[in-house]
Amino acid sequence: MNTAERVRRIKPSPSTAAAQRVRELKSQGHTILDLTVGEPDFDTPGHVKAAAIEAIEAGETKYTPVNGTPRLRSAIAGKLLERHGLECNDARIAVGGGAKQVIFLALMATLDEGDEVIVPAPYWVSYPDMVRANDGTPVVVDCPEADGFKLTPERLAAAITARTRWVVLNTPGNPTGSAYTPAELHALAQVLLDHPQVRVLTDEIYDEIWYREEDAPSLAAVEPRLAERVFLTNGVSKTYAMTGWRIGYGVGPADLVTAINTLQSQTSSCPSSVSQAAAAAALTGPQDFVRETVRVYRARRDATVKLINDIPGLSCTVPDGGFYLLVNCQGAIGKFTPSGSLIESDEDFARHLLDSGQVAVIHGAAYGAPGYFRISFATSTDVLTEACARIATACAGLSSAPAT
Ligand code: PMP
Residues 110 and 238 in one domain: yes
Q: Which pLDDT score, from 0 to 100, does residue 401 have?
A: 85
Q: Which pLDDT score, from 0 to 100, does residue 91 have?
A: 96
Residue 108, pLDDT above cutoff 90: yes
Residues 6+ apart with CB under 8 A from 203: 99, 103, 124, 168, 169, 170, 171, 233, 234
Residues 251 and 329 in one domain: no
Protein residue closest via CA to atom 7 of ligand 1: 38
d(CA 51, CA 70) in angstroms, rounded, equals 16
CATH number at residue 304: 3.90.1150.10
Domain boundary residue among 243, 266, 284? 284
In sign, the C-alpha dihedral spanning 187, 166, 372, 242 is positive
Q: What is the DSSP letter of 113?
A: T
Residues 294 and 276 in one domain: no
Q: What is the DSSP letter of 223?
A: -
Residues 177 and 70 in one domain: yes
Domain boundary residue among 251, 284, 317? 284
Domain count, the chain: 2
Nearest alpha-carbon partner for 250 in 103, 152, 369: 103
Residue 22, pLDDT above cutoff 70: yes
Inside any domain, residue 140:
yes
Residues 110 and 164 in one domain: yes
Q: What is the mean pLDDT of residues 124-130?
A: 96
- Of the CA atoms within 13 Å of residue 31, those in its CB half-sphere come to 4
| 390/11: higher pLDDT | 390
Question: At residue 130, what is the residue type?
Answer: M
Q: What percentage of the chain exceeds 90 in pLDDT?
A: 92
Inside any domain, residue 369:
yes
Q: What is the mean pLDDT of residues 162-190?
A: 98
Residues 85 and 17 in one domain: no
Residues 52 and 26 in one domain: no
Residues 148 and 216 in one domain: yes
Report how far ligand 1's centroid is from the alpha carbon of 206 (Å): 9
**Predicted confidence (pLDDT) per residue in 230-287, tens digit:** 999 999 999 999 999 999 999 999 999 999 999 999 999 999 999 999 999 999 999 9
**Residue 21's pLDDT band (cuts 50, 70, 90):** confident
Report how far ligand 1's centroid is from the alpha carbon of 397 (Å): 36
Q: What is the mean pLDDT of residues 209-219?
A: 96
- Asked if residue 38 has its Cβ within 6 Å of ligand 1, the reply is yes
Instruction: Give the domain range for residue 179.
Output: 46-284
Report how far ligand 1's centroid is from the alpha carbon of 323 (Å): 12
Nearest alpha-carbon partner for 307 in 391, 380, 210: 391
Q: Which pLDDT score, from 0 to 100, does residue 76 have?
A: 98
Residues 6+ apart with CB under 8 A from 266: none
Nearest alpha-carbon partner for 278 in 234, 322, 237, 250: 237
CB 197 within 8 A of CB 188: no
Cα–Cα separations (whole angstroms), residue 251 to 18, 77, 277: 32, 9, 19
**Residue 326's pLDDT band (cuts 50, 70, 90):** very high
Inside any domain, residue 403:
no
- Asked if residue 376 has its Cβ within 6 Å of ligand 1, the reply is no
Inside any domain, residue 302:
yes
**Predicted confidence (pLDDT) per residue in 54-106, tens digit:** 999 999 999 999 999 999 999 999 999 999 999 999 999 999 999 999 999 99
Report how far ligand 1's centroid is from the alpha carbon of 359 (Å): 23
Report how far ligand 1's centroid is from the alpha carbon of 103 (Å): 9
Q: Which pLDDT score, from 0 to 100, does residue 404 have?
A: 66
Residues 267 and 318 in one domain: no
Probe residue for ligand 1, chosen from 237, 243, 249 as the CB with the greatest number of ligand atoms within 8 Å: 237
Report how far ligand 1's centroid is from the alpha carbon of 99 (Å): 6
Residues 275 and 144 in one domain: yes
5, exposed or middle or buried, with CB in 10 Å at 0-12, 13-18, 19+?
exposed
Q: Which pLDDT score, from 0 to 100, does residue 73 have?
A: 98
Q: Which atom of ligand 1 is nearest to the CA of 124?
A: 3
Cα–Cα separations (whole angstroms), residue 149 to 41, 205, 212, 324: 26, 18, 17, 14
d(CA 335, CA 320) in angstroms, rounded, equals 32
Residues 250 and 372 in one domain: no
Strand partners for 169: 202
Residue 339, pLDDT above cutoff 80: yes
d(CA 373, CA 325) in angstroms, rounded, equals 8
Inside any domain, residue 401:
no
Inside any domain, residue 254:
yes
Task: Determine how many CB atoms are found less than 10 A away from the CB of residue 13.
Answer: 16
Number of H helices, E strands in the chain: 14, 13
Interface confidence, given as ipTM, is: 0.99
Report how far ligand 1's centroid is from the alpha carbon of 204 (Å): 9
Inside any domain, residue 404:
no
Residues 151 and 300 in one domain: no
Q: Which pLDDT score, from 0 to 100, does residue 354 have?
A: 93
Q: Which atom of ligand 1 is nearest to the CA of 173?
A: 3
Q: What is the mean pLDDT of residues 286-299?
A: 98
Residue 116 parent element (H or E): strand 116-121
Q: Which atom of ligand 1 is nearest to the CA of 237?
A: 14
Inside any domain, residue 214:
yes
Q: What is the mean pLDDT of residues 282-298?
A: 98
Q: Which pLDDT score, from 0 to 100, does residue 24 have?
A: 87
Domain boundary residue among 267, 284, 301? 284
Q: Which pLDDT score, from 0 to 100, does residue 187 have?
A: 98
- 3-class SS string, 283-350: HHCCCHHHHHHHHHHHHHHHHHHHHHHCCCCCEECCCCECCEEEEECHHHCCCECCCCCECCCHHHHH
Q: What percentage of the chain exceeds 70 in pLDDT?
A: 100
- Asked if residue 234 has its Cβ within 6 Å of ligand 1, the reply is no
| 25/365: higher pLDDT | 365
- Asked if residue 368 has its Cβ within 6 Å of ligand 1, the reply is no
Task: Determine how many CB atoms are found less than 10 A away from the CB of residue 340.
Answer: 11
CATH number at residue 53: 3.40.640.10
Residue 296, pLDDT above cutoff 90: yes
Residue 53, pLDDT above cutoff 80: yes
- Asked if residue 271 has its Cβ within 6 Å of ligand 1, the reply is no
Cα–Cα separations (whole angstroms), residue 113 to 4, 107, 117: 15, 12, 11
